[in-house]
Structure 1
Amino acid sequence: MRAPLGHFDDARPAPDCLELLTRPVADAVRAWRGTVPAEQIIYVDTDPAIADTAAFVEHYGRDLLDRSANCVVVAGKRGGESTLAACVVPSAGRVDVNGAVRRQLGARKASFAPMDTAVEQSAMEYGGITPLGLPANWPLLVDSALVDIPHVLIGSGRRRGKIIVPGKLFAELPGAVVLDGLAI
């Protein structure tokens, strides 16, 4: 199979290679019932040694720069309570943690979650966290710019490998809230 973007040697429908995904991502793919068929979630094998954005796009294709996204875990705090949430933004942007995220979570303060917290709570590897398979009680904030992109590259739950999904899939994920201006 040929990936819909980039230059990958190994691309296949995610339902055909669940063993390459972390348990929560594999479970989410297996249970997927959105308007986008699960077979359109494409797994591509990548070398974790070239995960840096500049090296990654040089190796796998410059077209990926405008068609990739990052999923970051944030913590919103109000009073003594802390809420974890995930934010999905274009790779070329940054999450507006102190503006859009703080307001959406109703938090007094918001910041990026510590790496060990993000990894432990998501059950995914740092550098590969993806919105598929996140804990059901987490808010999932999605930048509106991603929803209309035909195919978006994002983490697979592991540092090795990525997944390519139709952008509209992000809006159908559990807990998803699509926001204008989430990325700055």
Structure 2
Amino acid sequence: MRYGTLTWVPALQRPDLLAEPVRRALEDLPRAAEVRVAQIDPDLADTAAMTEAYELPLEASVNCVLVAGKRAGEERVAACAVRATTRADVNSTVRRLLDVRKASFWPTDRAVEASGMEYGGITPVGLPQEWRLLVDASVDADGPAIVGSGVRRSKLLLPGDLLAALPGAEVVEGLGLPVG
């Protein structure tokens, strides 16, 4: 299948393009047959570079950021999936949902170590089950979603509603705020 200038194949046919936690999650996902993977240049893994280089619509890309805050000494972690045309509302929506005084983006080294995924490839698919998965309502709408594959050298393509149907996912209205 072609989308943009990339050729997408069923993800489980190319486990070499998936981080281990992503592969395991896809093996357990009832709709895994709907998930595709395409190999990309790892230097183009960042959203803006990838969409331009491979002629993909920016609004199809979904960014996944890891956010944490503390309450009574307990760290609370959330993965936030928002369209690339928006940014996660960390200071209000995420902070309120985590019930913490302050929410911050996780440092890169912690995010990579805890997720088992590469920076620039972190995806909602295959994250630790104890983390909350917050998915902006716009991601749940009709249309494709391009997300990381857990590694920088590929991307996943799947229906947006499948992201919202991942185990433990919470669809949140207004999680993604317009950029600019």
TM-score range, shorter chain: over 0.9
Superposed displacement of residue 24, structure 1: 0.4
1:78-117 CA-partner distances (Å, limit 9, x unpaired): 1322111100001121111011101111111101011111
Return the match for 2:4 from 3, 6, 14.
6
Structure 1 residues 52, 137: CA separation in 2 closer, same or farther (over 3 Å shift)? Answer: closer
1:134-155 CA-partner distances (Å, limit 9, x unpaired): 0011100000001113211111
Q: Which amino acid aligns with 2:14?
A: C
Q: Who is 1:129 aligned against?
A: 122
1:49 pairs with 2:43: yes
Q: Which amino acid aligns with 1:25?
A: V
Equivalent residues of 1:6, 1:60 under 8 A apart: yes
What is the correspondence of 1:1-184 to structure 2 with a 5 Å cutoff?
Answer: 2-3=1-2, 5-8=3-6, 10-33=7-30, 37-61=31-55, 63-184=56-177
* Structure 2: runs of 5 or more not aligned: none
Equivalent residues of 1:19, 1:26 under 8 A apart: no
RMSD: 1.2
CA distance in 1: counterparts of 2:15 and 2:48, whole angstroms? 28
Deviates more, 1:127-136 or 1:76-85: 76-85
Superposed displacement of residue 29, structure 1: 0.7
CA distance in 1: counterparts of 2:173 and 2:159, whole angstroms? 18
1:25-60 CA-partner distances (Å, limit 9, x unpaired): 000011112xxx311100011111123433322211
Equivalent residues of 2:45, 2:121 under 8 A apart: no
Deviates more, 1:11-20 or 1:174-183: 11-20
CA distance in 1: counterparts of 2:46 and 2:24, whole angstroms? 28
CA distance in 1: counterparts of 2:47 and 2:18, whole angstroms? 21
Q: Which amino acid aligns with 2:138?
A: A
CA distance in 2: counterparts of 1:52 and 1:25, whole angstroms? 19
More strand by share: 2
Q: How many residues align?
A: 177
CA distance in 1: counterparts of 2:47 and 2:121, whole angstroms? 13
Sequence identity (%): 49
Secondary structure of the residue aligned to 2:87 is coil
